[in-house]
Structure 1
Amino acid sequence: MSLRRFLPDNFTLCLIASVITASLLPCRGGAAVAFDGLTNLAIALLFFLHGAKLSREAVIAGVTNWRLHLTVLASTFVLFPLLGLLLKPLLLPLVTPALYVGILFLCTLPSTVQSSIAFTSIARGNVPAAVCSASASSLIGIVVTPLLTGLMVQAHGQGGLSWHSVGAIVLQLFVPFVAGQIAQRWIGGWVQRHRPLIGLVDQGSILLVVYTAFSAAVLQGLWKQLPLPVLGGLLIVNAVLLAIALLATRYGSRALGFDREDEITIVFCGSKKSLASGIPIANLLFPAPMLGMIVLPIMLFHQMQLMTCAVLARRYARRAEARREVANGQTVIAER
C-alpha cells in the first residue's frame, strides 16, 4: 500500500501554510480591515459561482431516488448533530469549550460535493445519485447550517446566536447563490468549461478566510489556549465522529435494503463535511476572535475524511472488480 495516499494534498498544504503565516505574520489594523472586505467579496463570488455551476438537470435526473437522498440528509443534518450533543460527556473533557462549539458547528455542516462524487465514482457507486444528494446537501446547508448551529449552541449553554444574525447570514449566502442560478443560462457553459479557474476562486476564498480567522485568533492568544494535549484530544474527537458516521451509513444503508451501489453513495455522501461551505459560513456566523477555534475542527476533519475515504473507495473498487471477475468466469463456464 503506497504511503502517498496518506499524505496531505496540495490544498491542505496551502491551508497549513496559511495557518503558519497567520501565526508568524498576523494581519492587524488597516490590513485586517482590507482583508475582511476582500474576504466578504470572495465569499459572495464563491456562492455565486456555486449557483452558476450547479446543474439543475443533474439534480432533476437523480431526484427520483428519494429514499437514498433522505437517508443522506438524515445522516448529515440529524445523525451528526445528535452525535455532537449526545457525546458531549465524552467529547468535552478532551477539548476546550471553544473547540467544542467548533465541533458542534462541524456537525451541522452540509456534505461535500466534489470529493463525495469523486469517491463514489472510484468505488463504483451510484454517481448520478451522488451528484443529486451532494448538491442538495450543499444547497440546503446554506439555510439549515446557520439554524442548526444557533439551536445547538443554545443547547450547549453558550447563549446562542441571534436569529437576526442567522437571517442575515442566510441572506448573504443565499442571494449570491440564487443570482448564480439565475445567471446560469448565460454563464453556466462558461463556468463548466473553466472548472480549474473556478477551483482557484473556491480554494482562494477559503485560504483568505483561514488567514484572517487565524490572524484574529493568534492576536487573541490562540496558541496559548491550545496546548498539544488539547490538539490530540481534538484529533480523537474527529476520529470518533468519522468512525461512527462511516459505520452508521454503511450498516444503516444495508438494514434499509439499499443495494451495493446506493450503499456506496450513502457512505461517501452521508459521512462527509464540507470545508468549502463551512469556512465561509463560519466567517459570517462567528465573531473574529472565535474563528480560529471554530474552523480548526473542520480543517482537521477535512484531511481525516479524505485519507479515510480514499482507502475505503479503493477497497470498494477492488471488491467490485473481484465480483465482476467471478461473474465473468461463471458466464464463461455456463457458455461451455
Structure 2
Amino acid sequence: MLVSTRQWVKKEWFLVGMVVAMLLATVIPDVGRSGGVLQLDNVTSLGIAIIFFLHGIGLSPKALKDGVSNWRLHLFIQTVTFVIYPLIWLAFGQGFLAIMPTALAFGFCFLLVLPSTISSSVAMTAIGRGNIPGAIFNASLSSILGIFITPLLIQFFMGLQGISFDVMDSVISISKMLLLPMVVGQVLRPLVLTTFEKHKAVVNKLDKFVILFIVFNAFSDSVHEGIWHSFSIEYVLMSVAICCAVLVFIVNGVKWSAKQFGFGHEDEVAAVFCGSKKTLAAGVPMAKVIFGTDPRLGMLLLPIMLYHPLQIFYCAILANRYQKKAIAAENNNEVSA
C-alpha cells in the first residue's frame, strides 16, 4: 500500500504540489504573498518568460507547416475554443453569478475564454493515433490567438457586469510576457535545439514548478486579504460538478460534431483533444496580467485549477480508447489484406 502510494505521488506530483501550495498559502501566507519574503510576484514573472522561451524552442516549424493545409479542422477547433465555450458563459453566466461569489463566477468566465493547451493536446493526440501535425498547428495557433481574444472576451463579458479594464494594455502585457519570449525561442531554435533536447526532461518539469509558485503566490494573497473567510466547501464541490458537466458536454459534443463534419479517425482525435482543453500554463500568467494584484486572484483561478486535472484524467481515458480503436482497425485491415 505504501509503495503504491509513493508511486502515485511520484506520477502525479504536480497535482499533489497544487494541493500543497494551497495548504502552505493557508498556513504561511506572508511568505508567498506579493511583496512577501520570497518576492514571488517578481520571481514568477521571470519564470513565465523562460517557460514560453522554451516553448518557442520546442515548436517544430516543419510540423507546423505540415498541419497548415487542413483548414476545416483548424476552423472547427478554433470555433469550439473561442465560440462554443464562451457561449456557455452567455447561457449560464447570470446563473453562476446568482449562486456563487462574484470572483468564483468570473473564474468560470475566465476558464471558458482561455485558449487550448499545447503539450497535453499533442501528447493525447499522439496516444490516440490522431493527426499530430494538425494538433501541433492548432494548439500553437490557439495559444497565439488567445493572447488577443481572451482579454477581449473578458472585457466583453465582464463589461456587461459593469467591470472594465484596459484591454489594449492587457494584450500588450500578455504579448510581452508570452508571445515575445516564444518568438525569441523560435528564432534561436537552430542554435540551441541540441542543448534543449539534451535537457528536455528538466524543461518539461520547469513550467509546472513555475505554475506551482504562481498558485502559492495567488492563494497567499487571497488568504492575506481574508478572501476565503466566506468561502465554503459547498462552493468547491459545486465548482467540481460544473467543471465535470462542461467537460463532458464539450468532449461529447465535439465527438458528435466531428462525425457530422465527416472527419476521419485522425482528425476527430485531434479535434477532441485540441478543442476540449483549456490551458493552465498560459491561463495562470494571463490572469496575473488581466486581474493584476486583485486579492481575489486565488478564487478566480480555482475553476481552471480544478478543470486541469479533470481534463487530463478524462482525456487520458479517451486517448487509450482511441488507441485501441485504431489498433483494432489496423488489425482488421491486415486480416482483410
TM-score, with structure 1 as normaliser: 0.90
Contact 1:52-1:177 within 8 A present in 2 as well: yes
CA contact (8 A) 1:19 1:214 kept: yes
Does 2:89 align with 1:84? Answer: yes
Task: Judge conservation of contact 1:94–1:230 (CA < 8 Å) in 2.
Answer: no
Deviation at 1:69, TM superposition (A): 1.1
Q: How many Å separate the matches in 1 of 2:162 and 2:38? A: 28
Q: Which deviates more from structure 2 when the two are superposed, residues 168-177 or residues 42-51?
A: 168-177
> For residue 314 of structure 1, what is the aligned residue in structure 2?
320
The aligned residue for residue 325 of structure 1 is 331
Residue 146 of structure 1 contacts residue 169 of structure 1 at CA under 8 Å; is this kept in 2? no
Rate the CA distance shift 1:32–1:175 in 2: closer, same or farther, 3 A.
farther
Q: Which runs of 5+ in 1 are unaligned?
A: 332-336
> What CA deviation, in whole Å up to 9, does each residue of 1:45-72 have, x standing for no partner?
2222222222222111111111101111
Deviations 1:140-161 (A, max 9, x none): 2222222222222213x04122
* Deviation by residue 1:154-204 (Cα, 9 ceiling, x = unmatched): 13x041222243234234223222222222232233223322222232112
- Residue type at the aligned position of 1:20: L
Q: 2:149 aligns with which of 137, 144, 149?
A: 144
- Post-superposition Cα deviations, 1:295-317, rounded to whole Å, max 9, x if no partner, equal 11001000110111111111222
Aligned to 2:176: 172
**Paired positions, count:** 328
Output the amino acid matched with 1:199: N
Measure the CA separation in 2 of the matches of 1:287 and 1:24.
23
- Alignment partners' CA distance in 1, 2:92 and 2:19: 29
Q: Secondary structure at the match of 1:229?
A: helix
Amino acid of the residue matched to residue 134 of structure 1? A
Judge which range, 133-142 or 102-111, deviates more: 133-142
Q: Deviations over 1:263-312 (max 9, x none)?
A: 11101110001111111111121133021011110010001101111111
The 1:131–1:223 alpha-carbon spacing in structure 2 relative to 1, beyond 3 Å, is same
Q: Secondary structure at the match of 1:305?
A: helix
- Which of 15, 19, 23 is the equivalent residue of 2:22? 19
The aligned residue for residue 334 of structure 1 is none
Q: Is the 8 A contact 1:169 1:284 kept in 2?
A: yes
Written as runs of structure 1 = structure 2, the 5 A alignment for 1:38-53 is 38-53=43-58
Contact 1:94 1:233 in 2 (8 A): no
Letter in 2 for 1:37: N
- Confirm whether residue 256 of structure 1 aligns to residue 261 of structure 2: yes
1:247 and 2:228 aligned? no
Q: Quote how far apart the aligned CAs of 1:249 are.
A: 0.9
Deviations 1:304-333 (A, max 9, x none): 1011111111122222223233333333xx
Q: 1:238 maps to which residue?
A: 243
AA matched with 1:12: L
In structure 2, how many angstroms separate the alpha carbons of the residues matched to 1:94 and 1:313? 35
SS for the counterpart of 1:273 is: coil
Question: 2:183 and 2:117 mapped to 1: Cα distance?
Answer: 19
Structure 1 residues 189 and 149: alpha-carbon distance in aligned structure 2, compared to 1, 3 A threshold: farther
Taking the TM superposition and a 5 Å limit, the aligned residue runs for 1:201-280 are 201-280=206-285
Q: Percent identity?
A: 35
Residue number among 195, 219, 243 corresponding to 1:190 in the alignment: 195
Report the alpha carbon displacement of residue 257 of structure 1 after superposing the two structures with TM: 1.3
Does the residue aligned with 1:224 lie in a helix, a strand or coil? helix
Higher alpha-carbon deviation: 294-303 or 244-253: 244-253
